[in-house]
Structure 1
């Protein structure tokens, strides 16, 4: 992220009704995702899928979206955020149907996860472009902080449903979780029908002509995207390997659901105050500090610690992991003209999806010999490398900022 940040102003945010609907849509999309993905992991455990293959199942969530991310951004810029979000809601609902009806086989699980990943991609590209095109200049950090706060709220509520579906057992009622997600997906789709984004500013069509060439020339883009994708892959790995860690150490599904909820709530906290945090530091320094915190917390989770210590570490992990995504969104929104913001967000998601494919697959191979604890240590090392990269970049640009 080249340079610091634009000063936060007192300009009003987007229309209350629009922003409220966007936040509802963001919450529901994450609820469905954070119910179905752990539920699919538990179903895979029920089917005696080897632990090494859990990383491959995690990567499937990102495989098709990796190919479709940029086209989805082009569709958002061309057709509207609303239509893309409706399509995403339909696909996420369909994924729950697939998992319910065909999730008793590994192939059915794989198909459901792929459909879920595609629907999630469409939802978040539409949501992020809508936020970027609705927030006034100088308020991007706050707007994306609140947007990702809503996403974290959904990420907290999703694991909470796991507790209701039999959290006292080692493996919850996965069929009930799949069925409940169908209803939530229908509400998600319905909420997108009522979203109306502002008209494009004059000249946005001309801005679209530059396309991806304009975006890839943004200074510091590759490193910002790399840090973003490592942070998001770390979130994915905790979503899959905390349940695996729990089964390795005889921790109940309810306690693991509590840990996932604590991580999400901690991320909500850092995201809600993102605008103030950026004002106190700046985007680059904040990225370095929070990524280091995430790396240290992730490494410590691999240690044989009592439940209370695990809970404290997960809170620290959530505080650190919560910052990376809204920071890169705000930077892209402030650096990109309105007619290209859908593609800008999709480019970020392409990098994120690549990280979601490569990193879980790589660390999943470690699970065969080291178990879930080894996966967490490897992920901590990746976060440490990302923090070092962000820190080196800070040093390189210190004289020009």
Structure 2
């Protein structure tokens, strides 16, 4: 299942940058690239909740199959011979929908397969595998498409289709968890989830942390350009952030019993805020690198911790819907928060955006003090 997660992210992080290259080939205005990104996120925002119901009703395997099949069709839709600009936007929407189904299935499978008390470690390993795929995916662009300024997009999309086909084949062999809990799901419904104590705070924490990761990915290169840093230096900074997040996720299962889930969530959010806040200051490159590592360590924790809390809190047979509810909040945050932060920090440049994001993280961490997320027996 972790291999399935890693390969899913390899395909996504291979195809999304390539879709931008394909848009440039089609002379799509730069202002439309944001719309292309929104096409990836908008349809999944609408279908996330039904996908969770599908996972609870029919099992994770068929949710994963649906996701891989949609991703494969999207790869074929991206090909230069299929539809021009309209085909590009349609394929992006299909890719985002397939990615959403895959993540709902994966997260429901982790939740339904993990023993009580092991959710933090399981979701830490799960998000580590996803981060690994996100690291590998972009590295395949020059391997498949060459080293030109605009690579051979057709070759990359064909390669993505092959990888998606492997993902589809692997999905058919995923073991279905034995306990589906259908009666609980039907009797409780969405109302049972929405009544979970602390749910709004947990969803808010999750979406702000994820939006902060997206903002850092977009604005660190812009910050580098403002400060006249070489592209290679910015690449190293992004790599350090990803490696730091992977490290914190790998050891999450050991940290939670020692520190306590709530305290770890608060501390990690504070680290993310501190790291981005220092990065916004006019510091030398070495200090910027340290700040990015600190931010990466903090930002890597919020997602798996909120996943494990939801898995532990949701009734059996409703964990697919619980994960889809979290993903809905995340997608909404990815669509809304970057634009809001950009408006608030308008005219202040990339440093201003990072500073406002750091303030939002600090506010979220402060609010997490009232969130009851510690498993039984944890340090408080």
1:334 matched residue in structure 2: 312
Distance 1:298 1:161, change over 3 A: farther
Distance 1:44 1:377, change over 3 A: farther
1:3 matched residue in structure 2: none
1:294 matched residue in structure 2: 272
1:99 matched residue in structure 2: 78
1:142 aligns with 2:92: no
1:386 matched residue in structure 2: 364
Classify the secondary structure of the residue corresponding to 2:269: helix
2:109 matched residue in structure 1: 130
Distance 1:311 1:189, change over 3 A: farther
1:69 matched residue in structure 2: 48
1:198 matched residue in structure 2: 177
Give a deviation string over 1:9-35, Cα, whole Å, max 9, x none. xxxxxxxxxxxxx10110011112222
Task: Supply the distance in 2 between the matched residues of 1:336 and 1:295 (Cα, whole angstroms).
Answer: 29
Contact 2:49 2:328 in 1 (8 A): yes
1:160 aligns with 2:142: no
Task: Supply the distance in 2 between the matched residues of 1:312 and 1:155 (Cα, whole angstroms).
Answer: 22
1:151 aligns with 2:130: yes
Task: Supply the distance in 1 between the matched residues of 2:24 and 2:343 (Cα, whole angstroms).
Answer: 17
2:66 matched residue in structure 1: 87
Instruction: Please identify, of 103-112 and 149-158, the stretch whose mean Cα deviation from structure 2 is larger.
Output: 103-112
Counterparts of 1:227-376 in structure 2, within 5 Å, are 227-245=205-223, 256-303=234-281, 308-365=286-343, 369-376=347-354
Contact 1:77 1:340 in 2 (8 A): yes
Task: Supply the distance in 2 between the matched residues of 1:249 and 1:117 (Cα, whole angstroms).
Answer: 34
Task: Supply the distance in 2 between the matched residues of 1:98 and 1:253 (Cα, whole angstroms).
Answer: 32
Task: Supply the distance in 2 between the matched residues of 1:92 and 1:28 (Cα, whole angstroms).
Answer: 12
The TM-score normalised by the length of structure 1 is 0.81
Instruction: Please identify, of 150-159 and 359-368, the stretch whose mean Cα deviation from structure 2 is larger.
Output: 359-368
Distance 1:388 1:125, change over 3 A: same
Task: Supply the distance in 1 between the matched residues of 2:24 and 2:286 (Cα, whole angstroms).
Answer: 26
Task: Supply the distance in 2 between the matched residues of 1:181 and 1:356 (Cα, whole angstroms).
Answer: 24
Task: Supply the distance in 1 between the matched residues of 2:14 and 2:35 (Cα, whole angstroms).
Answer: 19
Task: Supply the distance in 1 between the matched residues of 2:89 and 2:353 (Cα, whole angstroms).
Answer: 21
1:78 matched residue in structure 2: 57
Task: Supply the distance in 1 between the matched residues of 2:295 and 2:20 (Cα, whole angstroms).
Answer: 21
2:376 matched residue in structure 1: none
Classify the secondary structure of the residue corresponding to 2:324: helix
Give a deviation string over 1:91-114, Cα, whole Å, max 9, x none. 223333333427997655543332
Distance 1:306 1:355, change over 3 A: same
Task: Supply the distance in 2 between the matched residues of 1:378 and 1:54 (Cα, whole angstroms).
Answer: 24
Contact 2:59 2:177 in 1 (8 A): no
Distance 1:306 1:159, change over 3 A: farther
Task: Supply the distance in 2 between the matched residues of 1:217 and 1:112 (Cα, whole angstroms).
Answer: 37
Q: How many angstroms does 1:69 deviate by?
A: 0.8
Instruction: Please identify, of 222-231 and 153-162, the stretch whose mean Cα deviation from structure 2 is larger.
Output: 153-162
Which of 96, 101, 119 is 1:117 aligned to? 96
Contact 2:209 2:302 in 1 (8 A): yes
Q: How many angstroms does 1:261 deviate by?
A: 3.4
Task: Supply the distance in 2 between the matched residues of 1:159 and 1:257 (Cα, whole angstroms).
Answer: 12
Q: How many angstroms does 1:305 deviate by?
A: 5.3
Q: How many angstroms does 1:149 deviate by?
A: 1.2
Task: Supply the distance in 2 between the matched residues of 1:390 and 1:174 (Cα, whole angstroms).
Answer: 46
Larger RCO (CA within 8 A; separation ≥ 6): 1
Task: Supply the distance in 2 between the matched residues of 1:103 and 1:367 (Cα, whole angstroms).
Answer: 40
1:183 matched residue in structure 2: 162
Task: Supply the distance in 2 between the matched residues of 1:350 and 1:138 (Cα, whole angstroms).
Answer: 26
**Total equivalences in the alignment:** 371
